[in-house]
Chains A and B, each alone.
Chain A
C-alpha cells in the first residue's frame, strides 16, 4: 500500500510514508504505464485519479454500472460454457471464478472495517460470520443485503442464504435443456472464499428455487465441514 491514499490508516503510516506511489515505479510491475493511465483518465471526466490511487474506503462512488456488469458476466458465462463438458463442470468453473473474487472481497472488507471503526472486529464464531456474509458481503458486492439466512431443518451442518432477485441472474434466462444450471454458482464461490478466509471451510453451491412472486429466487447452500461444527461445540 502506498501514501497515495488520501487518509492512510494510522498504523500503516510509518511503513508507507517513505515508499513512492505504485505507478511511479510501474516498470517493476505488470501495470500499464503511469503516462497512459493519466491520459486515459484525463480524456474521460477531467482530473479523476486513476484506479490504483483511488481511496478504497469510499464505497459510495465505487459502484459500477449494472449493465456493464451484466454484459461482462454474460461473456464470462459464454466463455466458460465453451470450455466445459456439462452443467456440473460449468457450475464448478463459475464457482472457481467467484472464489477468486471472494478472496478479494474479504480482504477489502477487513481493510475497510479496520480503517472505519475504532475497534475493528474479526468474526470467529459461525453464526456472526454467516450474518456478516448475509449482510455485509452482500451489501459490498450487490449493494443490498440478502433476503434471508436459514438453517437447514434436516442437517445440522447446512445453512442457506436466500436472494429473491440475484443481481448476477437478473437478465439471464436459462434454456430448458440446462434447467439444472444456476449461474449463481459464481455467488456461491464468493461465499465459499469468504468462509474459507474466515477459517470456516465449507462446500457452497447455488440452487434455483423459484416462487411465483420471485422467478429468479436463488438459494445458496452452505455445507460446513465437520471440523467447523466440532470447534463451535468446544467454543460454547
Chain B
C-alpha cells in the first residue's frame, strides 16, 4: 500500500501544490498536472449537482482506477485536497484530514502566503514530510 501523490486545488481550479511520494505512477509534466487538476475541478463541480436528493452534495469523493484511486476532500471554503493512493490504502481519508490540518496551520496562518496562490512554505513541506514521508504505508 502506498501514497503516490498529493494535490491542493484552489477554489478557482488552479493547482497550488503538487508533490509526489512513492514511486509507482507515471510522472507527468507540470503542465499536465495543471490541466488534470483543472479538469478534475470541473468534473467535481458537475458531480456535486448529480445527487438524486435535492440540496447540496459533496460531489465525487473517490475516483478509482485499476491500479490506483484518488480520494478528494472538499473543504468548506472550496479548496480541494486530492490524494493519489494504491487501491487498498485504508488511511486515505485520515491522511487527507491531517493534510487539511497542516494546511490550516502552516499555510493559512503564515503571513507570507497569498491566498489562492501556489504554496511555498517550508513549514507546510515539513508537516507533509512528517505526515506522509516517502509514501510507503505498512
Contacts and interface: CB of A to CB of B under 8 A. Distances in A.
Contacts of A174: 112
Interface stretch (B14-22, B64-72, B81-89, B116-124): B116-124
Main secondary structure of the interface of A (DSSP, over half): helix
B112 A171 contact: no
Contacts of A178: 112
Given A173-B110, A173-B122, 12 more contacts: A70-B109, A74-B109, A74-B111, A75-B111, A76-B111, A77-B112, A171-B105, A171-B106, A172-B109, A172-B111, A175-B112, A178-B112
Interface string B83-119: 0000000000000000000000110111110000000
A171 B109 contact: yes
| Nearest 6 pairs of A and B residues by beta carbon | A77-B111, A171-B109, A70-B109, A173-B123, A173-B121, A74-B111
Interface of B: 105-106, 108-112, 120-124, 126
B123 A172 contact: yes
B134 to A, nearest CB: 21
A78 to B, nearest CB: 5
Nearest to A171: B109
Contacts of A85: none
Interface of A: 67, 70-71, 73-78, 81, 171-175, 178, 183, 215
A171 B123 contact: yes
Contacts of B106: 171, 173
Nearest to B104: A67
A81 B109 CA distance: 15
A155 B110 CA distance: 35
Nearest to B112: A175
Contacts of A78: 111
Given A171-B123, A172-B123, A71 B109 contact: yes
Nearest to A178: B112
Contacts of B109: 67, 70-71, 74, 171-172
B131 to A, nearest CB: 16
B110 to A, nearest CB: 5
The listed residue with most B CB atoms (<10 A of its CB), out of A73, A81, A175, is A175
The listed residue with most B CB atoms (<10 A of its CB), out of A73, A78, A171, is A171
Contacts of B112: 77, 172-175, 178
Nearest to B114: A78
Contacts of A67: 109
A70 B105 CA distance: 9
26 contacts: A67-B109, A70-B105, A70-B109, A73-B111, A74-B108, A74-B110, A75-B111, A78-B111, A81-B111, A171-B105, A171-B106, A171-B123, A172-B110, A172-B112, A172-B123, A173-B106, A173-B110, A173-B112, A173-B121, A173-B122, A173-B123, A173-B124, A174-B112, A175-B112, A175-B120, A178-B112
